[in-house]
Structures are given as structure tokens and as C-alpha cells.
Amino acid sequence: MKLHKTFLASLALVLGWSGTAFAQNEVDALRYSRYGVSGSARIQGIGGAQTALGADISTMSVNPAGLGMFRRSEFGISPGLQFNNTQTSINGFNSTQDRNTLSIPQAGLVLSNHKSDEEDSDWRGASLGISLTRLNNFNQQLNYSNTTGETTPTIVEYFADQANANGRTLAELNSEFNNGFTSLEGLAFGTYLIDVQTDDNGQEFVTPLTRIGSMNQAEQIKRSGSQNQFDIGVGTSYRDKLYLGASLGIITTNFTQESIYTEAENSAETAFTGLELRDQFTTQGAGVNLRVGAIFRPIDAVRIGASVQTPTAYTLNDQYQRSLYASYDDGPTESASEIPGEFTYQLTTPFRANGGVAVFLNKYGFITADVEYVDYGSTRFHEQQDEYGNAGNYFTDVNNTIASTYKSAINYKIGAEGRYEVFRFRAGYGVSGDPYRNASFDGKVNSYSLGAGVRLQKYYLDAAFVSSKGNTRYSPYVFSNGGEPVVDIDQKQNTLLFTLGYNF
């Protein structure tokens, strides 16, 4: 089935930590479109629900109308620790890997010019804000190992399968061999893992190297990088009832993946003993979006908020290289390396819409809830235009796969804060909806959070702990009729965050 192939072809780690050995595909589309819980420690402590809340240092990344609620200027910075745990399982083989990082996932400055209550004006002033928000932390490491069945096809058969699917000829593969390798099939040909035969009708076809028995497979994948958004926004207040705001967001992306895939033969009846495929690529770039929002306060105890964000238009640049090594017991190790490549392209991620409500319980605290709509299937890749403004159709198949793989999703967040004198106590829960049209696993992500804080006249200190969990499946290669290895992956991400703020 097409969908079976789509899902297993991708390492779609649903918490935004996704990756694959081949860039510019549906996995990249989801990686840069799906976000985790973000904001200051106060906001993360209530599950990220801030569309209707307003007056927080991180408000402009979700609803810039919250800037209109500031009565004083404010600065805040939020250092944090993130703990990533990945558990893999395949055919009874289990493995666990941890990767931890220290970062500053949120910081901001708001300059407020709110008018005093004595001034007679419907418009109560304005605020200007700038903030930095970490949308995704890509730091992760995972390993797995597997032993195939006696007749199970492996990556060598996949090399041949891809060469035949792409119509590769002996002349083309020989050209790569002599002039520099530019494809995975070329690397396999250069290390003698595949060969070209001719049938009785003179048609060429690619065959894999003959091997016998089961194969030991293993892969190590290491990822690093992050996705950060810089916002500059303005907000205003009308009669302290209606708050309006807008912000410009600039998102920077830096993602690196290194993987080492190995296979070893258990039989001594053939010359082949093993192979190693090394893959590395880096994606860097930036995108821009615009966000507008409003908060309405019909009575003092209730706030209703809404915001929309335009699609984010990215320009991304990939740098990549692969190397393949094959060892034989009757000769030296054969090796082939791809010519280092570089590719610049555009990516447009989905429109986002948020709605929320907050209910205040006098001086005792509040309850707030958000709902967000995102159509992941609308993400699109585009080629760079030439000097005449024309772009090719290189991404047509990828974009069709995105549309058939992903769907719109609803994300939910709910949180509460209790107050006692200068102390604050918080809890929250969030669900990032399943983005897949038809997957054999549940692609949603559940996040639980706890927080506490102290509010003084000019200073405040908040702390939050957020735990997110999700699962997915992965295959390093995929055949059209199945038979590839399938790795079950459980992903856990815990974040400990602190915010130190100053009002002036």
C-alpha cells in the first residue's frame, strides 16, 4: 500500500524530533511544522495555554494581543534543561539512549506605555515587545539492532530495487564510477553490491549481490540542532476591554543528522562479510510569518482570545554526503563516497489558528484552555526560481506524498494557576493531535506539566517541569511489497525550566 510505504519510509518522531537519512521529504515537512510546549516557565507550567491569558513575556509567540495588557515594562529570561530518552524495539531486541541539553528556550523584553487611569482616552496606550522562543529541540540519539530471517531482503536488495525503479543503466552507473558518485545506487555499484544484467530481449536490469542466510543489522542515529523563533510585536488596549496585537516572526532552523547503518552476513559460503553506510546532512535556513490576534474581556473574570498565523515561508539549504563500505573475505574493503552536495529550496509550513478562554477566580487564580488548528497536509516544498522566475517540478511527488500522508489536526491545552499571597502553583495538560491520515500507530503527543512561582513587587521567579511522550515506527529502507525491518520507538522528553523576570 502507498500509505504503508510512506510511513515506514520515514523516521517521523512525532515530538518534533523527527529525521531521516534523505532530506526534502514528508518527514522534513512535519519536523519543521510541529511544535512542542513552548513559552516562559509560567506558561509551560500551565501546559502552554496562553491565547486568552495575555500579559506574559512570551505572549507574542502565540497571541500578540496580550501585549496590550501590560501596564509595566518587563524583561524575562528562561534557562532550561531538556532530557531526551529514546527506547527502540525490534524483534525482541531493545535499546535505550539518552541525550540531554542545556539551553535558553525563552527570553523577552516588553516596553509598555500604558496610560494611567486618570487619563481620559478610549485607547489605553501600547506596548512593544521582542522575544526569542525555542520551538523545537532536535538533539537526540537512537540505536537499534536486528537479525533478519533467512530469506528476508535487506538493504542490498533495496539498492537494486531503487536502481531498477529509477531505470538506471550500466552506462549511467559506469559514468558515476568514473566521474564521481552522485546517488545511492552509484555507491552500491561502486562497492560491487549490485550489478547490471541483460535479459533475452536486450533489456538491462540490476541485480543484488548474492548472500546467504540471516543478516545482522544495526544503526546509530545522532541528531543535533534547534528551531527558534524571534518575534517583534505591538499591542494596544481599547477601554481595557478589547486588546489587539500583531507580531512578525522570524524562524531560524539548524538541523544536523549523522547515521551509521551496518549489515553483517552470518554465512561463510559467500565472499561478502558486511557493509557500512554513513550518511550526514545539515539543514540551515530561515523563515518569516505574520501573526495577528485579539483578546476580549466582556467581564473582569473572563477573557476570550483568538489569533491567526500566516504560513511560514522558509528558504533552506541542505549540505549532504554519503559513503558506503563493503567488505569481502577474498579482498580489501571496497569504498565509495558521494560528491558532497548542496541544495537550496523553499518550504511553506501551515497556517495556524488559535482560540482560547481564561476564567479568573477572583484573587485565587485562573483556569485557561486553548485549541489550535493546523493542517499538516498543506505543507509544501518549492524549488528555487531561476533568473526568469521559473521553478521546476522536482517536488511534485514529495508534495503529493505530504498531502496523502498528513491531515489537519487539533491541538488542545488546558492549565490552571492557584494563588496564595506571593506564591503561585500551576498544572497543565496538552495534546498535540495525530497528524497522520492512516498510520498503524497513534501519532498524538501527550504533555503533562507542573509549575510554581513567586511574584514580588519588581521581581518574579517561576519554575516548570514538562513531560511529553509519543511513539512511532521507523524503517531504514522500504520495499513496495513490504519485508523491511520495522523499529518501534518510544520517545520521552522532559524539560525543567526557570524564568527570572524584572518589572520596571
Identify the CATH number of the domain in which residue 484 sits. Answer: 2.40.160.60
Band the pLDDT of 15: cuts 50, 70, 90: very low
DSSP letters spanning 29-84: HHHTT---S-S-HHHHHTTT--TTT--STTGGGT-GGGGGG-SS-EEEEEEEEEEE
Residue 498 included in any domain: yes
Residue 461 included in any domain: yes
Residue 182 included in any domain: no
Cα–Cα dist 367/203, whole Å: 70
Q: What is the pLDDT of residue 8?
A: 39
Cα–Cα dist 320/311, whole Å: 27
Mean pLDDT score of the chain, rounded to an integer?
Answer: 91
Q: What is the pLDDT of residue 122?
A: 86
Percentage of residues in the chain having pLDDT higher than 70: 94
Q: Give me the mean pLDDT over the 107-130 stretch.
A: 90
Could you tell me which of 276, 279, 280, 278 has the C-alpha nearest to residue 334? 276
Q: What is the pLDDT of residue 391?
A: 67
Q: What is the pLDDT of residue 231?
A: 97
Q: What is the pLDDT of residue 328?
A: 94
Residue 362 included in any domain: yes
Cα–Cα dist 96/101, whole Å: 17
Residue 427's CB is within 10 A of a number of other CB atoms, namely: 17
pLDDT higher than 60, residue 11: no
Q: Give me the mean pLDDT over the 337-342 stretch.
A: 93
Q: What is the pLDDT of residue 393?
A: 79
Band the pLDDT of 10: cuts 50, 70, 90: very low
Residue 138 included in any domain: yes
Q: What share of the chain is helix, strand, coil (3-state, %, to 5)?
A: 15, 55, 30
Residue 192 included in any domain: no
Cα–Cα dist 87/474, whole Å: 12
Residue 102's CB is within 10 A of a number of other CB atoms, namely: 8
Cα–Cα dist 21/61, whole Å: 31
Number of domains present in the structure of the chain: 1
Q: What is the pLDDT of residue 196?
A: 95
Residue 175 included in any domain: no
pLDDT digits (tens, 9 = 90+) for 258-316: 999 999 998 888 999 999 999 999 999 999 999 999 999 999 999 999 999 999 999 99
pLDDT higher than 60, residue 486: yes
pLDDT higher than 60, residue 6: no
pLDDT digits (tens, 9 = 90+) for 130-180: 999 999 999 999 999 999 988 899 999 999 999 999 999 999 999 999 999
Band the pLDDT of 390: cuts 50, 70, 90: low
pLDDT digits (tens, 9 = 90+) for 444-475: 999 999 999 999 999 999 999 999 999 888 88
Q: Give me the mean pLDDT over the 42-46 stretch.
A: 97
pLDDT digits (tens, 9 = 90+) for 401-424: 999 999 999 999 999 999 999 999
Q: What is the pLDDT of residue 387?
A: 62
Structural domain for 406, as ranges: 2-151+213-503
Percentage of residues in the chain having pLDDT higher than 90: 80
The one-letter amino acid at 91: N
Residue 191 included in any domain: no
Q: Give me the mean pLDDT over the 32-50 stretch.
A: 95
pTM of the full predicted structure? Answer: 0.88
Distances (CA, A) of 215 to 156, 161, 206, 212, 402: 11, 18, 21, 9, 33
